[in-house]
């Protein structure tokens, strides 16, 4: 059974309220941090824990905190990235909706550690009901003396603000988020300077994901070494996985990092296997932006060892035979899934969500969508497959922010592993455009 760091109490009736959360040990970590620890000691514990950013990048959170500039007389800010617009990812939404005080407790501890007196939770604009849940929880915490002026008599002040987002995927990129938070159009900024030096209102800022910040309370109560003892290698702790697709038990699961991918898909504790009568075809392991893998490579490494749910194991083999853990948006496909149609659907999303600031992304995402559309709808040309690969290469690495890469990787990997399926659509347009038609050629099904 996985260790429950974030979800141990999530199903307790009334856990969204202060009183019930408090009875389950809530806010004891705030008391410990503010009354008995220095900000430097808190940062050290987070560094010991080795917790890596859970929003997708996987950068060590403690190291990110240590980069924060501390000029005299200049305010510092903590911003929680709760935009969560990555297709296939819904674990932050799940956490905020069901146990909002866990995030708020993490925000208080993290803000104290960073010396921030005003912090923000930037929530995707479509989730207004979640925003209301958070605002209610913040009001409860403030009424009990855990927010506002002179928290617990310590002399430390913290104002916590929930800000609705602009409803744009690009605002999940930290500098675009900061632009949006300042009331501007959510366009990514050139870096350097990085937010740690010049972020919100040109002041030192740390931007962390919901899941990342929510780990702070457990780390303070149990110690960084205890957190580092969970997981495998540099993939320490637990991870929330948003599991969806052709599985028997879709949902949000908290796993110890290092669980075999095969176990996660087939064990009753988690996904419960592929739906009856079907076989495993492909996997998107970390949200729509990561490379797709065929079933055989999703379950085993190139050397034959089992692939694990960890940052290192999923990326083993590079993009030739590997992928990324990303944000944990775990999408499983069986043999009824059309890879061409799925890739076109992802490309539509990235074309729509491109901010248009960089030419390779603005123009390239549009071209990929158009070419994939004509292949899917029976108008493809023989040169279209290589054209898609070429366009993806010209986008990757040539944009201000990673949205260009996020658009290019799914297309390049789909063609790398499922080229025969793309070719079948071009060679058999009449058959391919029939309702429910799917490529049935030679596939590595499990």
Q: Which is nearest to 157 in space by CA: 195, 118, 123?
A: 118
- 14-17, long-range: CB within 8 Å, 24+ apart, which pairs? 15/98, 15/99, 15/101, 16/97, 16/98, 16/99, 16/100, 16/101, 16/133, 16/137, 17/137, 17/140
Q: What is the pLDDT of residues 185-217, one digit of tens each?
A: 999 999 999 999 999 999 999 999 999 999 999
Q: What is the pLDDT of residues 335-362, one digit of tens each?
A: 999 999 999 999 999 999 999 999 999 9
Mean pLDDT of the region 234-259: 97
Region of residue 233 (phi > 0: left; psi between -120 and 50: alpha; otherwise: beta): left
Q: Across the beta sheet with 205-209, what order do the strands follow?
A: 159-164, 118-123, 77-82, 205-209
What was the pLDDT predicted at 239? 97
Q: What is the pLDDT of residues 34-78, one digit of tens each?
A: 999 999 999 999 999 999 999 888 899 999 999 999 999 999 999
What was the pLDDT predicted at 1? 60
pTM here? 0.95
């Amino acid at each position: 059974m996985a260790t429950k760091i974030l979800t141990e109490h999530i199903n307790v009736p009334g856990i969204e309220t202060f009183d019930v959360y408090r009875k389950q040990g809530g806010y004891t970590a705030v008391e410990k941090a503010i009354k008995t620890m220095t900000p430097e000691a808190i940062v050290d514990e987070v560094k010991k824990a080795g917790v890596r950013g859970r929003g997708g990048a996987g950068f060590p959170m403690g190291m990110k905190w240590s980069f924060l500039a501390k000029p005299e007389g200049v305010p510092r800010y903590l911003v929680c990235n709760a935009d969560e617009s990555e297709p296939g990812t819904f674990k932050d939404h799940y956490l905020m909706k069901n146990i909002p005080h866990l995030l708020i407790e993490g925000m208080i501890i993290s803000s104290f550690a960073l010396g921030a007196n005003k912090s923000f939770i930037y929530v995707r604009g479509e989730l207004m009901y979640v925003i209301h849940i958070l605002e209610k929880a913040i009001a409860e915490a403030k009424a009990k003396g855990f927010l506002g002026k002179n928290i617990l008599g310590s002399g430390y002040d913290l104002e916590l603000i929930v800000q609705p987002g602009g409803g744009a995927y690009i605002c999940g990129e930290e500098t675009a988020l900061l632009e949006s938070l300042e009331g501007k159009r959510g366009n990514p900024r050139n870096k350097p300077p990085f937010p740690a030096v010049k972020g919100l209102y040109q002041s030192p800022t740390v931007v962390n994901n919901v899941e990342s910040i929510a780990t702070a309370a457990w780390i303070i109560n149990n110690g960084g070494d205890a957190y580092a003892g969970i997981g495998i290698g540099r993939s320490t702790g637990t991870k929330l996985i948003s599991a969806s697709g052709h599985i028997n038990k879709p949902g949000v699961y908290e796993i110890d990092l290092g669980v075999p991918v095969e176990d996660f898909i087939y064990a009753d504790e988690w996904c419960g296997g592929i739906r009856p009568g079907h076989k495993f075809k492909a996997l998107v392991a970390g949200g729509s932006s990561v490379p797709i893998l065929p079933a055989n490579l999703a379950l085993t490494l190139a050397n034959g060892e089992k692939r694990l749910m960890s940052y290192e194991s999923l990326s083993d083999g590079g993009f030739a035979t590997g992928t990324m853990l990303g944000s944990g948006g775990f999408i499983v496909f069986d043999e009824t899934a059309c890879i061409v149609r799925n890739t076109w659907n992802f490309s539509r999303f990235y074309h729509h969500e491109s901010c248009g600031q960089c030419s390779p992304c603005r123009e390239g995402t549009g071209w990929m969508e158009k070419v994939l559309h004509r292949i899917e709808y029976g108008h493809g040309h023989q040169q279209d497959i290589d054209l898609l690969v070429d366009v993806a290469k010209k986008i990757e690495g040539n944009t201000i922010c990673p949205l260009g890469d996020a658009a290019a990787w799914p297309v390049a990997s789909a063609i790398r592993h499922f080229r025969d399926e793309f070719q079948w659509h071009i060679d058999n347009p009449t058959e391919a455009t029939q309702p429910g038609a799917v490529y049935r050629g030679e596939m590595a099904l499990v």
